[in-house]
Amino acid sequence: MSTPNFYESDRALSEYLLFHYGAPQQNMPWPFGPTTALNYPARCVSECIDTSLLPAQARGLDLGCAVGRSTFELSQYCSEVIGIDYSHRFIEVARHLQEHGSTSYEYIEEGLLTAPATAVVPAEIARQRVTFEQGDAQALRSNLGSFDVVLMANLVDRLPHPGECLKALPALVRLGGQLILTTPCTWLDSYTPQSHWLGGFEQHGRPVRTLATLQAVLAPSFALTRTFDMPFVIREHARKFQWSVAQATVWIRR
């Protein structure tokens, strides 16, 4: 399978550094473009988390953190945050950002033409609260502990076996803790064999939706408190953008 290696590629690294740390003008240079879709990795925290529910000294976990922007944002509300991603490349760069606060990269303008950029962790972030590690969200290390908030942004439809990841969640989220799960439900065989899709197919002549499966799987341990739509935009080059709408759900561990 070639697609899973996308997250180890130069192109993915450049796109995700821009997506996570780029200025609005760099991510969407067209004034008539979908500007409400900008700043998604920060919005996954600011628009989804209920800070009033978090204890002092909260622990946070960002599964499928890519180059880490949401992980850093979580650290504004948690004294310790772990970001985990399967991509060695992403984690290497996220660690560099944690240690040094910035990194240089190039993003595509057209063909081989690129523009130089610097990804900078916002100055108000206490970077020492954050650690990054390479790992598989479907087989997490057993001594990870439990968390007051777990974020899974646009992860489930990129996993070979999302059900394995969902199974681990009751043990990962503390009683009263929050699980924030967003997904654009882009189910593709190249990432997830059809037999493991959470939605996007028919069963006994009826459509199966991702949200319904999430409810069926999570309901025994979690109460669904919010469902809403979150637009996001990933720039491929100056004239091509992926505009998507993630379905965001917020769950409380019971």
Residues engaged in binding ligand SAM (CB under 6 A) = 7, 19, 41, 64-66, 84-87, 90, 136-138, 153-155, 158-159
Distance CA 89, CA 235 (A): 20
Query: Considering beta carbons, is residue 22 or 112 the nearer one to ligand SAM?
Result: 22
Shortest Cβ 206–ligand SAM spacing (Å): 28
Place of tokens 């799960």: 181
Shortest Cβ 56–ligand SAM spacing (Å): 26
Cα separations in angstroms, 54 against 59, 60, 187: 9, 10, 33
Query: Considering beta carbons, is residue 34 or 176 the nearer one to ligand SAM?
Result: 34
Shortest Cβ 65–ligand SAM spacing (Å): 6
Query: Considering beta carbons, is residue 61 or 252 the nearer one to ligand SAM?
Result: 61
Query: Considering beta carbons, is residue 137 or 218 the nearer one to ligand SAM?
Result: 137
Shortest Cβ 68–ligand SAM spacing (Å): 9
Shortest Cβ 249–ligand SAM spacing (Å): 15
For 78, other C-beta atoms within 10 Å of its C-beta total 25
Shortest Cβ 81–ligand SAM spacing (Å): 13
Query: Considering beta carbons, is residue 108 or 159 the nearer one to ligand SAM?
Result: 159
Instruction: Determine contact, residues 235/115, Cβ cutoff 8 Å.
Output: no
- 160: helix, strand or coil: coil
Query: Considering beta carbons, is residue 158 or 253 the nearer one to ligand SAM?
Result: 158
Task: Dig out the tokens for 225 from the structure.
Answer: 């408190």
* String of DSSP letters for 175-237: EEEEEEEEE-----TTTS-GGG-SSSEEETTEEE-HHHHHHHHHTTTEEEEEEEEEEEEEEEE
Instruction: Determine contact, residues 187/195, Cβ cutoff 8 Å.
Output: no
